Amino acid sequence: MSRFVIKTIGSALNATSFISSKYASNKALNLFASPRKGRYTETQRKIISSAIYEELSYDNLNIATYRWHGNKKTVLLAHGWESNASRWDYLLKVFRDNDYDVIALDAPAHGRSDGNQFNAILYSEFINVAVRRFSPEVVVGHSVGGMASVFCKNNHKVPSIQKLILLGAPAHFTGVFSRYKSMMGYNRKISEGLDRIVLERFGKSVDYFSAANFTANFDIKGLIVHDKKDRIIPYEDALLFANRFKFAELITTSGFGHSLKDHSITPKLLNFINE
């Protein structure tokens, strides 16, 4: 959406909040949780066409998974917001050449998975189902896929996971929420209403959902990759992970942006997986 459209929607909801702050806050949350893209294009379908497709399920929602069989370590790939499993195209050939057993999944309301709404907590449950099905030793998460992977590891016993790679991942939900509120220009009524809805819906306040804090208790190895010029998730989030994740290494890049789709990073991922 253009900046003008964003501000127009924000202003309209702000005005509505003076009539019903609860209604306006619910609308704001629905907007936040509704991806505008992420379903497959024809070009993207070709990328995953060679995979073995399998549907899993969570809470009556189908989870789309894709598998490229290999004989070495099983690696699970979790994409980010408004994306799908095809985003891993730049890694798939290298991983397959190294004979990894590669699994990718589509997040809720993305790709071929069910749902109309998305949040990192629901995504973490999708990841948990996939982990239990495929028993990956390594999980690679990009952006909110990294956050959801941390939530999964924190909330469930997933003994197969030995290593976690976080690519441009947000360290805490507070920051994600704050940037959304600021972008939309929401007033205090809506901002506080959004926080109340999270507490009512998930039984925890917004600041509880800190992926960085959760990693402080992890006994697995981690690799944090973040670009200093990331305009979506600030580099400071990577520093928070690095300060808390005891057995993690931080790799800092410059100029690759939020996507981190650069082949110079791939050998570092391979070294971490293989070591």
Q: What is the pTM of this model?
A: 0.95
The answer to whether 168 and 223 have CB atoms below 8 angstroms apart is: no
From CA 125, how far away is CA 134, in angstroms rounded? Answer: 14
Q: Are residues 182 and 250 in the same domain?
A: no
pLDDT band for 3, please (50, 70, 90 cuts): confident
- Together in a domain, 133 and 73: yes
Distance, in Å, from the CA atom of 200 to the CA atom of 186, rounded to the nearest integer, reads 20
**Could you tell me if 150 and 234 lie in one domain?**
yes
Does 124 have pLDDT greater than 80?
yes
Does residue 182 carry a pLDDT above 90?
yes
Mean pLDDT of 16-30: 94
Would you state the structure tokens that stand for residue 256, as one six-digit string? 């690759």
Query: 266 and 137 in contact (C-beta within 8 Å)?
Result: no
One domain, residues 72 and 193: no
> CATH no. for residue 261?
3.40.50.1820
In this structure, the answer to whether residues 16 and 142 fall within a common structural domain is: no
Domain, as residue range, for 26: 1-32+176-208
Statement to judge: residues 102 and 18 lie in one domain: no
What is the reported pLDDT for 2?
66
Buried b (16+ CB within 10 A) or exposed e, 228-260: eebebbbeebbbbbbebbeebebbebeebebbb
- Of 169, 149, 170, 171, the C-alpha closest to 161 is 149
202, 145: one domain: no
CA distances from 123 to 50, 201, 264 (A): 24, 15, 29
Q: Which residue has 């066409």 as its token pair?
A: 49
Whether 136 and 158 map to the same domain: the answer is: yes
114 plus 48 within the same structural domain? yes
Q: What confidence category does residue 1 fall into, taking pLDDT thresholds of 50, 70 and 90? A: low
Mean pLDDT for the stretch of residues 197-204: 94
Residues 244 and 129 in one domain: yes
214 and 156, same structural domain? yes
Structurally, the chain folds into a number of domains equal to 2
Reported as a single tens digit per residue, the pLDDT across 240-271 is 999 999 999 999 999 999 999 999 999 999 99
Pair (8, 86) in one structural domain: no
